[in-house]
A and B are shown apart, each in its own frame.
Chain A
Amino acid sequence: MSDTEAIETEALGAIAGAEDLAALDAVRVAELGKKGRISGLMKTLGKMSPEERQEMGPKLNGLRNRVQEAVEARKAELEEAELDKRLQTERIDMTLPPRVTPEGKLHPVMQVFEEIAAIFGDMGFAVAEGPDIEDDWHNFTALNFPEGHPAREVHDTFFFHPQEGAAPKVLRTHTSPVQVRVMEAQKPPIRIIVPGRVYRNDWDATHTPMFHQVEGLVIEKNIHMGHLKGCLIDFVREFFEVDNVEARFRPHFFPFTEPSAEMDVKYTKKGESIEIGAGDSWMEILGSGMVHPNVLENCGIDPNEYQGFAFGMGVDRLAMLKYGMPDLRPYFEADAGWTRHYGFRPWLSPSVSGGLS
């Protein structure tokens, strides 16, 4: 066995036997360091004759390369083992609770406003708005409520103190005054919905002094009551997200529509909650009708040229029906438990194509 073979055997043995990175590095320095054994042999090449060099060159180079590779390989092994060992000491109890980020929720009424807007938006309705504090003209007179007529009284109106020479301002009792504002400002064709707060002086188990409505208005040339029915039936089907909503229309009286209709949907009661689209009881969900010619005239629209329909629905109750809130009162109490339970996740954005809820 030549010298180089002996050295190689010894070096590789020492590398394999190195227990940690420090021991391995000591071997590397002893063999391949500046003053190392193999480095020393490499230095002897310069003093050799060409023939000797011819023979020893490849041998020594091969030796150095193999030892170097062995060092690298062992180093990788030892690092791997060392990492494993270290990681064994880095345990944390992953069952511990993380920091809690507070959970926000959206109010069901506001969500339902958006659901309704999504459905009607898909039918080409724009969203219009108007002030909560209204004058007598927009809330009543323009809508064909005769002054002093009992039809005004059923509205339980909130009044402000009268100012000189004018009827007192009121808190709007319905979203219908926005119909008037839109028709006064815009020429047909008109398709709008109006979500908003409305106010009536009534407070008991089923009424709150403030509640929410969505108003709808369509004014075009050839819109008749069949479209009213079709549009609203399409709406309730989409809104309740059940296939078999059954609806009916009945005559009713509203001063600002003629003919007027109320719409009922079929429902059944299951325990505390209500199921739409089943059973054989009827529940009123909205009022509607063909816009009264007097209202069109009051807004500067010729009733012989344009006609259309209007509707209004109570959003708080629609939300109750769809999502099963048993009671109206907590709606306005900013109750954390209630909002967390009945509220909606922030990024659930209702759309007809992507699903309402």
Chain B
Amino acid sequence: MKFTLSWLQDYLATKASLEDIMAVMLKAGLEVEAVEDPAAKLADFTIAHVKAAEQHPDADRLRVCTVDTVDGEKQIVCGAPNARAGMTAIYAPLGAYIPGLDFALDKKPRKLRGVESQGMLCSTKELEAGEDHDGIADLEGDWAVGTPAAEALGLTDPVIDFEVTPNRPDWLGVYGIARDLAAAGGGRFLENPLRKVEGSYDCPVEIRLEAPEACPVFAGALVRGVKNGPSPDWLQQRLTAIGITPKSLLVDITNYISQDRARPLHAYDAARLKGAITARLGRPGEKLDAIDGKTYDLGEEMCVIADDSGVIGLGGVMGGQSTAVTDETTDVFIESAWFDPLRTARTGRATGIISDARYRFERGVDPESCVDGLNFALALIKEYGGGEISSARIAGAPPVRGTRVAFDRRDVARLTGLEVKPAELKKMLKELGFGIEDAGEAWYLAVPSWRFDIEQSADIVEEVARLVGYDALPTQSLPAPEGGRKVVVTGAQARQRAARRVMASRGFLEAVTWSFMPKTQAEMFGGGSDALTVANPVASELNQMRPSILPNLAIAAQRGFDRGEREMRVFEAGPVYLGDGPKDQRNVVAAIVRPVAERHWSGASAPYDAMAAKADLFALLTELDQPPARFQIEAPRQPHWHPGQSACLKLGPKVTIAHFGALHPRVLKQLDVDGPVYGFELNLSALPQMKARATKTRPVLQRSDLTPIRRDFAFIVDEGVAAAEIIRLASGAEKKLITGVQVFDVYQGTGIEPGRKSIAIEVTIQPEGETLKDKDIDAIADRVVKSVTSGTGGELRG
């Protein structure tokens, strides 16, 4: 919402400076977004008198002027053809910034073709204050030397732009702004009850209300014999200043009252009206050719204005082309009605029309303002356009709203910590337009008709707090929490924090990527259900909630590579979505590596591969106090993994906690990512909760004094036999004493028949209590061999 300072002063008597007014606006909650003070921009420029203008000795086009300025007599070389002795000009001193040229004059005098110039004479264009083409500004009027140029150019009225919050539609009129600023201490409100204009004949246009729920009140009047030309200068200047292009007297007056009183009106060319005007709901198939030149399909929920020719306007939103006023209009019918906010908002959304009327009606126009607004318009039309005014016709009545609120004065201190004296409270509330019925502690307040945001005591407290100013409220630190301090991070949160640190410490960069992705990608990664499709995505490729973070990371790694990164290791700890219910969100850690071989003087190191991804996942699980051995490793269950180089980790038959290994080459191709890409995705939410220990004391360290014994075995088995199976069988051969089984060789090739492989393990036997004799160790070794060979169908390698 924009207004000018002088416009505000129509209704606010104040000696406050612009800065002070802005401070009061801020205090009262009118958040100033911009102030354009044309005078401030032109502060350097003043009126000067040209005493003499001689031809430059060495340049045909230059003149050497002797100028009487605020800084004394100056010699200024000027290129303007219109420079002449006796003219009143605008002087820029040395060093001044010229806004229209976007440069500053040198601070020291410059010589132009050998003649010193001690300043500049400016055009209004150079001041961004006009479009004179004849050369420098040649001002009319008797301006004294030193007068600010802004004053001489009539550019002294600052334009203030501020944010109107949705709860305060009364701020959409300058009048309402003045009332609020007066109550906040910015001056005295100049209440300006609108004059009643007497009509000289009955309004011949009949008004019918067929949908009172949509339009409960409609006032109108006719003016005959109007001269609809340009509106007066002051009106054009005000509209122009706030960015509204003047059109014609009748249109400008309705726009003006909309900005001045937050009261939208509509002007119809009465000669083009056919029969009575009806406010009703739209009918199937109806259309409106609106004044914006577009045609709109109307719905049965919309409030339309119609006459015998059909629909001629969308109530509270936009008028129609067929009855719009033109320069030739002589008879005008003015509509001043009230339209239901929610219905107007729905109509606005459905049609996409953005208009000042819609903006005001959907936030709430003062329903008591129909007649006043109409009279204001009639008075202005009569004054500037002449004509004969009819009496006002009023159909329906303003909606009655709950206008009485109980206010407990103690709520002010209870909610804000601020003590305000009753007399002060009364003064403030009265200035805001509240009626006060004082019943001791409880007051009953009559809420003014222009306020839609006051329903209860707390709403009054806000009025008081903002008028007093939040600076005046006490400032107190929070008291220590009741019952002492507790651990404020849950186990799951602590786990996510730890996971992130582990991944970063292992060389991974943390990413935060969109929660949505293209539906086609989501489908590749096991998602894509319609329930998780965003109906109005910001971009068509961000239309599906992600079932996995992996595609985002793989694409990021490829993008990094294309930009010149080498191997990228990247992870993200964040949500994935299995459904749209509140419990369908999972917190996962996903990590990927797109390996790039690095050369090194000591020889290349082993490239990152599926086993490296497994190592990272297992290191992470270990750090999270989740011993990897408690999980089973099985074939992958998600389609986006390489079928032979990936696996899932399971906890029991049902819970899958992670997948790891190589991503499926076909999926990578569809993502436009050059493979191979390795990684894992761990569902943190599925990890078993670590039980809180009853005591912080650790159990006593149990350790044998006896040296462990290590024995090597090699088995030849079918190549399909999993190493984990051999480890499990070897460990199970003597559960108590075998404390470790390590695979140290896997071999296929010469000496081993095709389809078979050799796996060599080192078994650690930890004696307990007493030393093991050779025959005891041999017995354990025999059990290991028997367990593995019978369990796998393999044989001990000779």
Instruction: Determine the chain B residues whose CB is within 8 A of the CB of A58 once the complex forms.
Output: none
Cross-chain contact of A333 among B470, B556, B573, B601 (Cβ < 8 A) = B556
Q: A132-B575, A149-B345, A197-B515 are in contact. Are A334 and B482 (CB under 8 A)?
A: no
B474 and A104: CB pair below 8 A? no
Cross-chain contact of B515 among A132, A248, A345 (Cβ < 8 A) = A132
B27 and A250: CB pair below 8 A? yes
Asked whether B36 is an interface residue with its Cβ less than 8 Å from the other chain, the reply is no
In the complex, A340 Cα to B568 Cα: how many Å?
Answer: 12
A251 and B167: CB pair below 8 A? no
Binds A, one of B410-418, B624-632, B735-743: B410-418
Asked whether A16 is an interface residue with its Cβ less than 8 Å from the other chain, the reply is no
B509 and A336: CB pair below 8 A? yes
In the complex, A334 Cα to B562 Cα: how many Å?
Answer: 13
> In the complex, which residues 244-286 of chain A have their Cβ closer than 8 Å to any Cβ of chain B?
248-253, 255, 258-262
Instruction: Determine the chain A residues whose CB is within 8 A of the CB of B530 once the complex forms.
Output: 161
A226 and B510: CB pair below 8 A? no
Instruction: Determine the chain A residues whose CB is within 8 A of the CB of B27 once the complex forms.
Output: 250-251
> In the complex, which residues 156-184 of chain A have their Cβ closer than 8 Å to any Cβ of chain B?
158-163, 168-169, 171, 181
Asked whether B480 is an interface residue with its Cβ less than 8 Å from the other chain, the reply is yes
> Which one of B476, B481, B569 has the highest number of Cβ atoms from chain A below 10 Å of its Cβ?
B476
A124 and B485: CB pair below 8 A? yes
Q: A260-B462, A336-B560 are in contact. Are A106 and B481 (CB under 8 A)?
A: no
In the complex, A151 Cα to B169 Cα: how many Å?
Answer: 12
Asked whether A121 is an interface residue with its Cβ less than 8 Å from the other chain, the reply is yes
A133 and B342: CB pair below 8 A? no
* Whole-angstrom distance between the Cβ of A317 and the nearest chain B Cβ: 15
Instruction: Determine the chain B residues whose CB is within 8 A of the CB of A224 once the complex forms.
Output: 413-417
Binds A, one of B74-82, B85-93, B200-208, B537-545: B537-545
Asked whether B605 is an interface residue with its Cβ less than 8 Å from the other chain, the reply is yes
A307 and B414: CB pair below 8 A? yes
Closest to A168 in B: B535
B461 and A259: CB pair below 8 A? yes
B477 and A234: CB pair below 8 A? yes
Cross-chain contact of A253 among B29, B559, B584 (Cβ < 8 A) = B29
* Whole-angstrom distance between the Cβ of A105 and the nearest chain B Cβ: 5
Cross-chain contact of A251 among B418, B462, B516, B584 (Cβ < 8 A) = B462
A343 and B509: CB pair below 8 A? yes
* Whole-angstrom distance between the Cβ of A262 and the nearest chain B Cβ: 8
Asked whether B309 is an interface residue with its Cβ less than 8 Å from the other chain, the reply is no
Asked whether A323 is an interface residue with its Cβ less than 8 Å from the other chain, the reply is no
Q: A107-B511, A150-B166, A334-B513 are in contact. Are A160 and B580 (CB under 8 A)?
A: yes
Asked whether A339 is an interface residue with its Cβ less than 8 Å from the other chain, the reply is yes
Instruction: Determine the chain B residues whose CB is within 8 A of the CB of A159 once the complex forms.
Output: 534-536
Instruction: Determine the chain A residues whose CB is within 8 A of the CB of B598 once the complex forms.
Output: 100
Q: A123-B478, A160-B580, A253-B166 are in contact. Are A334 and B488 (CB under 8 A)?
A: no
A346 and B580: CB pair below 8 A? no
Q: A121-B489, A225-B415, A252-B31 are in contact. Are A339 and B536 (CB under 8 A)?
A: no
Binds A, one of B256-264, B312-320, B441-449, B500-508: B500-508
In the complex, A114 Cα to B497 Cα: how many Å?
Answer: 9
B415 and A346: CB pair below 8 A? no
> In the complex, which residues 294-348 of chain A have their Cβ closer than 8 Å to any Cβ of chain B?
307, 331-337, 339-340, 343, 345-347
**Residues of A at under 8 Å CB distance from B?**
96-97, 99-107, 109-110, 114, 117, 120-121, 123-127, 129-134, 147-151, 153-154, 158-163, 168-169, 171, 181, 189, 191, 197, 199, 201-203, 209-210, 218, 220, 223-227, 229-231, 233-234, 248-253, 255, 258-262, 290, 292-293, 307, 331-337, 339-340, 343, 345-347, 349
A-B contact list, 25 entries, CB within 8 Å: A96-B601, A104-B510, A109-B512, A126-B486, A133-B545, A133-B585, A158-B534, A160-B533, A168-B535, A225-B417, A226-B418, A226-B474, A226-B475, A229-B473, A230-B476, A231-B478, A251-B29, A260-B462, A307-B414, A333-B559, A334-B513, A334-B557, A334-B560, A335-B556, A340-B509
6 cross-chain pairs, A with B, having the tightest CB-CB distances, nearest first? A251-B29, A124-B481, A102-B507, A334-B556, A253-B165, A226-B417
Q: A224-B413, A251-B27 are in contact. List 16 more A-B contacts (CB 8 A).
A: A102-B508, A110-B500, A123-B481, A126-B486, A132-B585, A160-B532, A163-B531, A171-B534, A209-B514, A209-B542, A226-B475, A229-B473, A230-B474, A230-B475, A259-B416, A334-B570
